[in-house]
Amino acid sequence: MRSPIVLAWLVERSGAAGKWLLPLQIIGVLYLLAALCWLVINPRRKLSG
């Protein structure tokens, strides 16, 4: 898993050390997209095959 490396890189690239706003916003958007994907899933639909 490379997410800790990417997170550290984003914190470093976002300016002053300890500036976590950009990485937290990106992670928040990813979680929001994942939640929206779960809303599309229909648990009553049968799997094909």
- pLDDT at position 35, please? 95
- pLDDT at position 26, please? 84
Global pTM value: 0.62
**Three-state SS at 45:** coil
Residues 36 and 4: their CA atoms lie apart, in Å, by 24
What digits encode the pLDDT tens for the residues 1-49?
A: 677 888 888 788 777 666 778 778 888 999 999 999 999 988 888 887 6
Domain segments of the chain as ranges = 8-32
- pLDDT at position 34, please? 94
| Backbone conformation region of residue 15, classed left if phi is above 0, alpha if psi is from -120 to 50, else beta | left
- pLDDT at position 43, please? 84
Query: Residues near 20 by Cβ (< 8 Å), separated by ≥ 6?
Result: 11, 14
- pLDDT at position 24, please? 83
